[in-house]
Structure formats: C-alpha cells, structure tokens
Chains A and B, each alone.
Chain A
C-alpha cells in the first residue's frame, strides 16, 4: 500500500488522500458520495457506467472518478451544472435501452437505476431508440436472468469471478449485442453456475433476481387438504427485520414465528433443530474418519453452492465431503417421516416449506437425491427476501407482532445451531460436541474464539485430550479454490475444514435482504452486526451444545437409534457426483478477507 499522501481540492474542500486513491475515494473523505452504478469497493475497477464522472481542472473531458487517481494540487468539481446535465444524459441513455416496466419489476423500489433516475429528476424519456431483446433465462432452480434489464455494469461478472472464482458469467458478443451470460449462451442450469446468488445482491437492476416461489407457497397455504409446515434457518432471524426498519443483527426469532403463523403456516419448526442433528452426525462422522483412517480432511456439507462447486470444479475431493445432508434437507426428511408418523399425518398431505438466506437451497431441495421420505423432502424454498415480501403482501405489521414459540418437537435448539449462520460456526458447533464425544470430558468453555472472525481463511489446532487436530475455516469460493489447490499440492494439512460459499457465511447469503441505500453488499461492519446478532443469541442460550438438546436425545431414543446408524444413513446422509461441464477457477492473487 502506498503511504504517500497528496492534497487536492474537491468542491472547494481541501482533502488529504493516499497518493494511490481514486477521486471517488478522496471524495468520501470530504463527505461526498458521488453517484455510481458499476463501482464496488471490493471489486476491480471497471469504469463501465460513467455515472460517477467529475470535472477536473485542466482536463478536457469529464473523467470517471471511480478509476481516476488523485494528484497533488488537483482541483475537482463534482456537481457543476454541466456535469449534472451530462450525468443525467448518461442515465437517460441507460434508460433508453431498458424496459419501461418498473411497476412490474422484482426490483421495484429497490433498484439502483430507478433511484438514480429519481435523484437526477428524470421525468420524461427523451431518447427513444432500438432496444435489445434477449430471452429470459428461467432454467435455473435458483436464479432468473433477464438480459433486457441488464445495464452491462459487469458487477455480476466481477463478483462471480473475483470473489467466488466460479466464472459462470462473462460478457459475450459486442456493441449493441453485448450480453452477460454463461459460456456458449447456454441456459444457467447447464453451466457451472453454483446458484450462490451473490450476483443477485450485486446487480443494480432487476437483471438477476432469485426465482420467486411465493406464488407456489400462497397456493399451498390456501389449499385445505395440505398441512403446510415451515422451517427457518439461523441466519434469517437476524436479517428479516431489515426490510421493516430494524437494525441488522436484531434477534427477531419470535416475531418471525408469529408472522409465519399469521401467514397461515400450520406448523413452524426451526432449522436449528436439524442443525443440532447435523452436528451429532457430522461430529461422529469426523471421529469415525479419524479413528478408522477415513478420507481426510473432511469438509462440511451444509452449503449447497459449495457442494455444486466441488462437483464441477474439484471432483477429486468429493469423498472428502461429509455425507451429512444440510440441516434443511435433514429437517425435510424428518418432517415427512418421523413427524408425520408421530402426528398420524399422511406424508403426501404435508407441504414442506423452508425459509433460507440462500438461493442455492432452492436447487438443493430440487436435487433428485433429496427424496428420503419417498416424496420431495422439501417442497418449496423461500429466501429471506421472499418471506419479507409475503409479510408485506399480507399487510402484517411486522414490528408490532408479539414473539411466539416454535412448535414441538422439531423446534428446540441450542446455541451451537444458531452459529451455523456465520462463518466458523459449523466448525465451532462440531468441536463443542466432538470434544466431549472424543474425550468424555465436559468442555469448560464452549467458545472457540480462534475460529471466529471474517478473515478469508482461518486455521486452528484443537487438542482433543491428547489428539491434536488441525482445522480450518474458509468462506468465499475463490478462497476455497485456493485452499483446495494448496491442500492438493501438499502445502496445507488439515483434519477438518468448514466451507461456506458466501463471504461471511449464511448471514451474507445470496437470498438475504440487500443492504440499504448507501451500504454495499460485503460491507464488513454491516455483516458484523448480523454476526453479532447470531453470537448474542448463542451466548444467551442455556444449552449451547448440540448433544445436550433434550429433543435431539429424544429423537435418537425413539426414532433414529444412534448417530451414523442405519436410519440416519437412510434419512440424513447423501452422496455426491461429478458434474459437467467441468469448471476451471482462476486463482485470486491474495486471500479475500471480508
């Protein structure tokens, strides 16, 4: 990093900035937020949209402030009348090649292009020219891509490549025919796309959105022959409040349960219960692999986009994946078997919905392997954003709801399950149980602070009463690709690795509410608030270790038998397979730390 400083003037204010800073960064110091579309502080500079142009004294043309460096004595103006007019023209030209369907667009009210048009006072469409027309790609179970709404800012291409390393998207063709999409213009379902949905967080318009399954769920809710059961993932409860004006990280578990009952769900269960179950199975699987010379390192398997990434990009590591299903699928399998039997319900009459921070969960639920109950175990998956939309559609005053409790018997959970929502949490939860299962001793402190944090790759050594095991935590798939490459090359050695696809873990999932205006996705302090919410819920729980959950003990006693037993094998474990097309990820030069 360049430590040299320069002094420049922005709108008459003297600013001291790093010599390698851009004008946009320097303007932030002066308390100015220059309008922008294609810029993101954690992605490479594109200079594609030209919305952030500024006037620099002595330069003939306006320059894009996002990719122009500051210089000593530079005099910058960010809001002269000519400049404002030029910016407005640029946005008008973007609008010219954009559908006029704001009212019926998924991003209505939450669209950066719309906001700019509003801020710039664009009240009529002056330019009317030819418009591009491409088919909408609805092939993916998770993500819908409507190229007509794309303004070619390239943020999705960059996040897919630079943060996730997947490179499913690229610009193709040129000029007026330029389009963003997978190789060979194939449908997303036939590409290496892993459905992580980070592109849906970065897209400034409605070109990339989650597949909307709310209609399906409303149908089921109004069907009297169906018992509609719902489960909520850990990371949802600390983010669902954001669209209703709550601070990120506010614990709204009880309000969420109440809202779901008002919407008409017959039973409300907690994915955290099955997260506890996942820990029982996964911790024992780890101990089994350690004791019997199984494939190591063992990778966690809760993150479905990571699973698909492994299947496309690193098939030689498939045997290293834990065979445990994700908590969503464990819950799905139990609802239509254990719970149905207990309540005397027909599995066929149960409609199982899950609320997830994740777009890839939609794909996971639709995988053909996920039919342990001999029905589709989970019938519909809604993201946090979709649930917020349903609550608004129903006219519920979310902030005024009285907190309610989950239903029994799949609603009880421990602190270990809550932290599944944050990077490092699954590993920590597994250690809390594996330690006691391996040593027979009580843990004095259940917090494993060494695996917490937002660094891209973290490692620790854990002493299981004499046996030292090396563990690692990784989040973001570009980081994961790097870690796997180094493990393969023999440069890194671990026994157990937690992988979460999205930076920050599930709390930063592709299905979470988009940060409010002025806050970027991947904003560290924003994500830290969600993480703090999760750790607070954990620390307030009386029981913080999965194996001490009384309902977990009960389900093993009356239904499952033992962890890794035959019933578990059938209902709670799965297998993976090599997928085509084979993916090739490029290595990021340095580790991405949130």
Chain B
C-alpha cells in the first residue's frame, strides 16, 4: 500500500519544484490568496497532497498547518491520500440504478475486495459512486479514469479490470487538470489532450 508520506527520490524533486513555484508566486499575491493556487499546483505535482507538501507550504507562506488542513478538507477536489492509478466511478443515478448499476457495484466490490471510497492495497484501483455521467440512454454506465463503459453487465467486469491490470500503474492515462497552469484552456481541451498521453 502506498503510504500517505513521501519516500521516493522523485517526490523530493517534486517538493523542490513546489518550493520554486511558491518562490515565483510569492511576490505576486499575499499568502492567503496564494494558498488555493498552491494547493492546486501541489495536487498536480503529486496527484494528491502529501503532508510534507503541507508542511512546506506552511513554512513558505507562513500559514498555520491547521488552517491549510481546513482548506484541503473543505474541498472534495483535494485528496490527502495517494490516488489510485485507476479510479472507477459507477453511476447510481436513476437510470443506471434501475437497469442494474448496483449489481455492477456489488460485483466490483467482490472482485476488488474493497468498499466504496477505498483503494486496493496495490494502489491500482479505487472505487467510487457517482450520480450521473450524462448518458442515461446507455445505462448502466461506469467510468475508469477517462474511459467510459456503457451497458455494463457484471460478467464483463473481470475482463475490463484485467485490461487495466495488464497496463499496470505506469500505463495509466494522465488525469492532470491544467486549470492553474493554463488558465485560458478549458477543462474539455485539457482532457482531450490528456487522454492520448501516456506516461
């Protein structure tokens, strides 16, 4: 299981990069208004917000950690735990629900041996429930990162999961959101770019 703390050299590089980011931004605004953007940037760098990063931000912006923690936990967007390589969203909106969405969810729980909101010990899959993905005519729907699966029946799930297991952690599609770095770019453009990219 990936820990909530950083331990790799790669992470050290990211912390340095975060530190430089704050140094660049610091003269532009006061600490309070810089915090939001800095947290966005942190999540982009690490794909979650590690404690080391909070401590660094606290020191650099001279803001108390309790305050930063309050900000992080207020917004759903920020995560304090490492994100899974593949986040599965199962729709439980009305249309999906009546056409068997909950059976899909049950089967996923069995296959992955985790509950909703949890991440598998290998950090590969995370399971979430969503309310509507906007294609009710194709219910039941589920989404794995950017890939959408329609008319899902539980029997198809092992094969779908295996296809991601073969790609492994390194093969995942980037889910970066570039809103902070490129304010002019729409979320849609950004997603479209990202889907094709492999790391």
Contacts and interface: CB of A to CB of B under 8 A. Distances in A.
Interface string B55-80: 10011001111111110011000001
A60 interface: no
Interface residues of A, number: 22
A173 interface: yes
A584 B63 contact: yes
A441 interface: no
A441 B63 CA distance: 50
Interface string B65-98: 1111110011000001000000000000000000
Contact of A173 (B59, B62, B73): B73
Contact of A586 (B54, B59, B63): B63
Interface string A547-589: 0000000000000000000000000000000000111111000
A184 B65 contact: yes
A586 B62 contact: yes
B69 A582 contact: no
A182 B74 contact: no
A380 B55 CA distance: 35
Interface stretch (A88-96, A162-170, A254-262, A411-419): A162-170
A183 B74 contact: no
A586 to B, nearest CB: 7
Nearest to A193: B66
A172 interface: yes
- Tell me which of A171, A182, A191 has the highest count of chain B C-beta atoms within 10 A of its own C-beta: A171
A292 interface: no
A342 interface: no
Nearest to B66: A170
Do most interface residues of chain B lie in helix, strand or loop, or is the interface mixed?
helix
B74 A169 contact: no
B51 A184 contact: yes
A183 B65 contact: yes
Interface string B31-57: 000000000000000000001001100
B59 A584 contact: yes
A321 B55 CA distance: 27
Given A174-B73, A184-B51, A169 B59 contact: no
A582 B64 contact: no
Interface string A130-154: 0000000000000000000000000
A167 B74 contact: no
A170 B68 CA distance: 9
A169 B66 contact: yes
- Tell me which of A171, A192, A582, A584 has the highest count of chain B C-beta atoms within 10 A of its own C-beta: A584
15 contacts: A167-B66, A169-B66, A170-B69, A171-B74, A172-B73, A172-B74, A173-B73, A183-B68, A184-B80, A185-B69, A581-B55, A581-B65, A584-B59, A584-B62, A586-B64
Interface of B: 51, 54-55, 58-59, 62-70, 73-74, 80
Q: Ordered nearest first, which 7 A-B pairs have the shortest CB separation?
A: A167-B64, A170-B66, A183-B65, A170-B70, A183-B66, A183-B69, A172-B73
